[in-house]
Amino acid sequence: MPADLQEKTDRYERMLADALDEAETRPPADTPLGTAAAECREMAASYLDDGRHFREDDDPVNALAAFSYGYGWLDAGVRMGLFAVPAGTELFTV
């Protein structure tokens, strides 16, 4: 595997895992927005699991794609106000 693909896949996996740890759901769980936040988080976590599975199968291209999609779900949720993130974090473009 080319070094740049390896580095990027490693970086995106870390970013997604860290983002899942840092993003806190804003709306109450028993509201429609709370449901939307839960679904965004579930999609992001599923893509993290998928990416790790692709890595185990020596498929770095699909692993990177999965990590990127998962991160996109969380980033969209942050932009819509579904998640709060710590001030000054470099994980999101808020």
Residue pLDDT, tens place only, 25-61: 999 999 999 999 999 999 999 999 999 999 999 999 9
If one counts the domains in the chain, the total is: 1
Confidence band, pLDDT 50/70/90 cuts, at residue 91:
confident
The domain in which residue 37 lies consists of 3-19+29-84
pLDDT of residue 89: 73
Give 87's pLDDT tier (boundaries 50, 70, 90). Answer: confident
- CATH number for the domain spanning 43: value is 1.20.1270
Structure-block tokens of residue 44: 């992001």
Q: Indicate whether 94 belongs to any domain.
A: no
Mean pLDDT for the stretch of residues 61-83: 95
The reply to whether the predicted model has a pTM over 0.85 is yes
Q: CA 50 to CA 22: how far, in whole Å?
A: 20
- Token pair, residue 9, equals 């896949």
How far is 12 from 20, CA to CA, in rounded Å?
A: 12
Residue 91 lies in a domain: no
Ranges of H-type helices in the chain: 3-22, 32-56, 60-79
Q: Using pLDDT thresholds of 50, 70 and 90, give the confidence band for residue 1.
A: low
Does residue 89 fall inside a structural domain?
A: no
In a domain, 38, yes or no: yes
Report percent pLDDT > 70 for the chain: 95
